[in-house]
Amino acid sequence: MKYIEYMIGNYPQILSLVVEHIRLTAFSVGLAILIGVPLGIIISYAKKMSRPVLGVANIIQAVPSMALLGFMIPFLGIGMVPAVAAVVMYSLLPIIKNTYTGVENINPETLEAAKGIGLTPAQVLAKVQIPLALPVIMTGVRVASVTAVGLMTMAAFIGAGGLGFLVFSGIRSVNNYQIIAGAVPACLLALFVDFLFGAVEKLVTPVSLQKGSNMRKKRQRNIQKAILGVTAAGIAAAMIFTAFSNSSRGDQTITIGGKDFTEQGIVGNMLADMIEENTEIRVNRQLDLGGTQICFEAIKTGDIDMYVEYSGTAYSDTLSHPPISDMEEVYETVKKELKEQFDIEVLKQMQFNNTFVMAVTQETADMYGLETISDLRSAAAQMKTGMTFEFTNRDDGLAGLQETYGFQFGDGVTLDAAPRYTALVNKEVDIIDAYATDGLIKKFSLKVLEDDKQYFPPYYAMPIIRADALEKYPEIAPLMEQLGEYLTDEVMVELNYQVDELQRTPKEVAREFLQSKGLI
């Protein structure tokens, strides 16, 4: 019942994401067909090329999708281009292989007969080989298309949109209704695509090879043609509508990015609303881009113009300085070096410090008598950790923490952001890394251990913006300073809690807060 209520309450967003998903998938599969079918035909003639071409396609298929996507981001940026490129590459193998197999397995006597009646090689290909191979080719296209629907959910990870946005957002905020709202339409879309290409497969199969009477076959073909016509018209209309809506943006446009967790969604929407409500600038929101590396790569390449970074992250992770606890030195160093090295301006930092913290359940804290991180020294070896990928790999993360405090944890697993909270509450792990302003800390009533040796550097939020964008829109800086004064640790905990526990959207929470403070 609650799932139905969620779907009804959010149907405009879900419908919009379905259209985006269809557009991305259709474009990707279309490109894969344009590349894969000619390649399959070529290697059926040039036999020596078949093994290396199929070998390369097999290797690409074996590469994990997220690894391939991550590899392409530095070259192709974020958004639609790398997402489509990745899906195209994964779709090539079944199309190339089935095209090659279909052309290769045509009866040699049929080809001899075609040549015997005077057909040229090009005519043999166009009038005999391709028509006879088409059912096999369409089987490959069908497999590639259904797979593409599922793969395209990863497009949301780099801001390309689609139903993956709901899945990633739901995982991040432990919102099962949101996960289902993204997963169910994706499954239904995959089933529809399978049905659609199944109809095309039958349509291109010669009537003589199909079962049933000729009249029945003709009726089925007419129905299939009607379905395909309506579907093609619908997809074309959706793509045209999206193209026009995208091109309707004015010249005064700025793109704001954000990392893939609740706080970034809230603050990113605040930045966008402040700018749109107080200036003539329109904002393109790309607020679900993944981690630090993706966002920073995007601002360097110009795929986004601005996002909120954290001072300690920029200092240690981006600029590779050893972590320190001096807030002013961290900020001034980041401001100076980002400008010198990347021509990125750092605006005034906000009031909240979203530093790393170590969190346990109250039951675990009581069991081991934990108040500070130093108290872990006697218990760490018996505890199983559930740390995020970023915390595990950072210089100011797990390794440095253990070295500074002089203990070593026992077994551990590496998890994504929100699942680590679920694992902790379910007693699958004993301790996790968290952010000081996480709403999930309040949601699950966790115990935050005091960093008594001040190991973690300051992580004050600070908007960073490309210098050319700030030069073009100088009115942005005072707006960001005005906003930053209102965002304290306590405020951010409460706002994050409203999303993570009360299941409100970041956009709704952000706008309500700005209105309550008279900022918009």
pLDDT digits (tens, 9 = 90+) for 393-436: 877 788 889 999 999 999 989 887 667 888 999 999 999 999 89
Q: How much of the chain, in percent, has pLDDT values that exceed 70?
A: 88
Instruction: Please check the confidence at residue 60 and state whether its pLDDT lies above 90.
Output: no
User: Average of pLDDT values for 53-65?
Assistant: 87
Please report, as a single letter, which amino acid is at residue 358: M
For 109-140, how does the pLDDT look when each residue is reduced to its tens digit (9 = 90+)? 888 888 888 888 889 888 888 888 888 998 99
Rounded average pLDDT over 348-367: 94
DSSP state of 438: -
Burial call 301-337: b when 16+ CB within 10 Å, e when fewer:
eebbbbbbbbbbbbbbbbbebebbeebeebbebbbeb
List of residues 6+ apart from 134 with CB closer than 8 A: 102, 204, 205
> What's the pLDDT at 220?
59
Phi, psi of 163 (to 5 degrees): -70, -20
Predicted confidence (pLDDT) at residue 17 exceeds the cutoff of 90: no
Instruction: Note the pLDDT tens digit of each residue in 3-14.
Output: 777 777 777 888
> What is the C-alpha R_g of the chain?
27
Domains of the chain and any CATH numbers: 1-210 (1.10.3720.10), 253-353+459-517 (3.40.190.10), 356-449 (3.40.190.120)
**Rounded to the nearest 10 degrees, what angle do helices 176-204 and 164-172 cross at?**
160
Band (pLDDT 50/70/90 cuts) for residue 143 is very high
With cut-offs at 50, 70 and 90, classify the pLDDT of residue 304.
very high
Task: Report the Cα 123 to chain-centroid distance in Å.
Answer: 46
pLDDT for 211: 56
- H helices present in 176-305, as ranges: 176-204, 214-247, 262-278, 292-301
pLDDT in the model for residue 232? 57
**Any idea which residue has 């001034």 for tokens?**
332
Q: What is the mean pLDDT of residues 337-344?
A: 96
Give the torsion through C-alpha atoms of 410, 412, 418, 423, to 10 deg. Answer: -70
Beta-bridged to residue 460, according to DSSP, are 353
Q: For the chain, what is the total number of helices (H) and then of strands (E)?
A: 24, 10
pTM over 0.85: no
